[in-house]
Chain A
Amino acid sequence: MKGLRNYLDKIKPSFEKGGKLEKFGSTFEAFETFLFVPDKTTKTGAHIRDANDSKRAMSVVVFALIPALLFGMWNVGYFHFAATGLEGGFIDYFWHGFLKVMPIVIVSYVSGLAVEFIFAQIRGHEVNEGFLVSGMLIPLIVPVDVPLWMVAVATVFAVIIGKEVFGGTGMNILNPALTARAFLFFAYPSKMSGDKIWISDFETSERLVDGFSGATPLAEAASATSPEMLDAMHQHYSVADMFFGFVPGSIGETSTLAILIGAGILLFTGIGNWKIMLSVFVGGITMGGLLNIFATDTNLYMSLPAYEHLLLGGFAFGAVFMATDPVTATQTETGKWLYGFLIGFIAILVRVLNPAYPEGVMLAILLLNVFAPLIDFYIVKGNIRRRLQRAKIKA
């Protein structure tokens, strides 16, 4: 550590104003503050000071994502071996998944950070730390078999159109990671939905176990036309499977348990907002319950128990890691309840009642991202009005 610090101090002058590598000052600054907490202090005016800067907050989120990432790797290997009928142990599963998932992580980080660094150089500002989290989120919300070049294109698109055009980290309206996923979903639908993409090498594999469908529980429930088919889904995947994550799906979204560990880390450190997380789940279960009440024979999906909706698909992942993004969520405390509730509510609504979209969490969060400033606006206006009324009565 000491040696690293000394080395940084030694090369620092050449990056400062007037140094020969002045152009790359923002790059140097990014690495330095990533490695060490900066010692800069504000010189004028009164400010609230906190040892926790945004780079540290981002690192905690990345740390909280690790359980989901590791479990995702294991899950990828597990389903690969199950589908091809090969024998394998824990290490084999994990190693296979590691080899499949790591390239996606690397591509996501390299392409996204490249764009961030280029923009920082052109615009002459510091490199934004926001991508540390987005770069980890993107691999976790895509299917394992997605081609790497698509990940790169989607990441570049998300960073430029989702973030940089609005002015970089902290200014974006939409969550960049979800922008990347939405881009992939609409641009390359055949690689982002269906039965064949959730298990690695499913399409190219020659020997497949008979009757192994590769469909996610959500897809099976959505296509159920008789109560028996819904039962068949429950035979394939029990509620415990859904909770622990023994279901096919996007890499990091399968295990509700791993996500809850991450949620615990976020809540313990105070970085994630518990109001948003809780209200997303409440919204989801409300809509699920309503659908249960009005379930008809023509749409059996509506009769899927409400609590299962919370375990399936990207619901928990979206609630914990996506909806709580402090930049794109509502800022007012009351707004957070409404924002979260509507995300959960709309996610299940889209999931069940719109056959074009097997999963609605992504769309619900993006929609509420857009509405977040409006929600804040009316809540602030309401506060002002109430205060004015109080003032009038006293006068």
Chain B
Amino acid sequence: MSLFSSKDLKLLTNPLNMNNPITIQVLGICSALAVTVKLEPAVVMSVSVLFVLALANVIISLLRNTIPTRIRIIVQLVVIASLVIVVDQVLKAFVYDVSKQLSVFVGLIITNCIIMGRLEAFALGNKPWPAFLDGVGNAAGYGVILIVVAFFRELLGSGTIWGFQVIPEGFYEMGYANNGLMILPPMALIVVGIIIWIQRARSRDLIES
């Protein structure tokens, strides 16, 4: 018996491309603009969201038959908030610098629409294992976009990757300059837009008639 049935595998891979939370569902844009100036915070953010979303999905899925429908949002928020506090404390303890850079955006994972969206749309109606896979898949789809955007923004905006200078000093002497627009949030939006453009040009069935 294989661990992943083909249906499970779809839960995992679909959000990476054809149902990407950022480029197709256009959720979680706010944090995508805010934490993608440098690669490191973007990766930390992706991992944090992965942890929160996967666990929250499992917990809500386990509780799904006992949660009264009328207060389900509150229950979901309690679960997410508890997990986010755990993440926040771990980041503060082990990667304090990054935690400082991310500032409020770790706390704002609570309001990340992707998480609430997956809990509402998937975890409340599915068993824990598919819910876990769905959470991992969606968080990965979110993370991939974050990392791609952060890669280009850090490379072109600061000339570095993960804090290491990759554009040789000679380029600067020849008159090359870092692109200050890349550091500003509007450019993150434009980079996300270019990714959406490329994705739609590659898979035509995404284009609305």
Measuring CB to CB, which residues of chain A are less than 8 angstroms from any residue of chain B?
A: 147, 149-150, 161, 165, 183, 186-191
Taking the nearest CB of chain B, how far is it from the CB of A194, in angstroms? 14
A149 to B181, CA, bound (A): 16
Could you tell me if B175 and A188 are in contact, using CB atoms closer than 8 angstroms? Answer: no
Could you tell me if B182 and A187 are in contact, using CB atoms closer than 8 angstroms? Answer: yes
Could you tell me if A187 and B175 are in contact, using CB atoms closer than 8 angstroms? Answer: no
Could you tell me if B177 and A191 are in contact, using CB atoms closer than 8 angstroms? Answer: yes
Some 20 contacts from A to B, beta carbons below 8 A apart, are: A147-B175, A147-B177, A149-B175, A149-B176, A150-B177, A165-B193, A183-B181, A186-B180, A186-B181, A186-B184, A187-B179, A187-B180, A187-B181, A187-B182, A188-B177, A188-B179, A188-B180, A189-B180, A190-B177, A191-B177
Contacts of B176 in A (CB 8 A): 149
Proximity bits, B182-196, A CB within 8 Å = 1, else 0: 101000001001000
Contacts of B193 in A (CB 8 A): 165
In this complex, what residue of B is CB-closest to A186? B181
> Which parts of B90-122 form the interface with A (CB within 8 Å)?
none
Contacts of B181 in A (CB 8 A): 183, 186-187
Does B172 sit at the interface, judged by CB under 8 A? Answer: no
| 10 new A-B contacts at CB < 8 Å, known A147-B175, A161-B190 | A149-B175, A149-B176, A150-B177, A165-B193, A186-B180, A186-B181, A187-B179, A187-B180, A187-B182, A188-B177
A147 to B190, CA, bound (A): 24
Taking the nearest CB of chain A, how far is it from the CB of B207, in angstroms? 14
The majority secondary structure among interface residues of chain B is helix
A183 to B186, CA, bound (A): 11
Does B197 sit at the interface, judged by CB under 8 A? Answer: yes
Taking the nearest CB of chain A, how far is it from the CB of B77, in angstroms? 36
Taking the nearest CB of chain A, how far is it from the CB of B129, in angstroms? 42
A187 to B190, CA, bound (A): 14
| Interface contact tally, CB-CB below 8 A | 22
The majority secondary structure among interface residues of chain A is helix
In this complex, what residue of B is CB-closest to A190? B177
In this complex, what residue of A is CB-closest to B190? A161
In this complex, what residue of B is CB-closest to A160? B194
In this complex, what residue of B is CB-closest to A187? B181
Most buried by A among B179, B181, B182: B181
A183 to B181, CA, bound (A): 7
> Which of B175, B180, B184, B197 touches A165 (beta carbons < 8 Å)?
B197
A186 to B180, CA, bound (A): 6
A161 to B194, CA, bound (A): 9
Contacts of A186 in B (CB 8 A): 180-181, 184
Contacts of B180 in A (CB 8 A): 186-189
Contacts of B175 in A (CB 8 A): 147, 149
Taking the nearest CB of chain A, how far is it from the CB of B176, in angstroms? 8
Taking the nearest CB of chain A, how far is it from the CB of B173, in angstroms? 13
Contacts of B179 in A (CB 8 A): 187-188
In this complex, what residue of A is CB-closest to B157? A187
Taking the nearest CB of chain A, how far is it from the CB of B109, in angstroms? 29
Contacts of A183 in B (CB 8 A): 181
A189 to B177, CA, bound (A): 10
Most buried by B among A161, A165, A187, A189: A187
A225 to B190, CA, bound (A): 40
Contacts of A189 in B (CB 8 A): 180
Taking the nearest CB of chain A, how far is it from the CB of B117, in angstroms? 27
Proximity bits, B39-70, A CB within 8 Å = 1, else 0: 00000000000000000000000000000000
A183 to B156, CA, bound (A): 14
Taking the nearest CB of chain A, how far is it from the CB of B52, in angstroms? 34
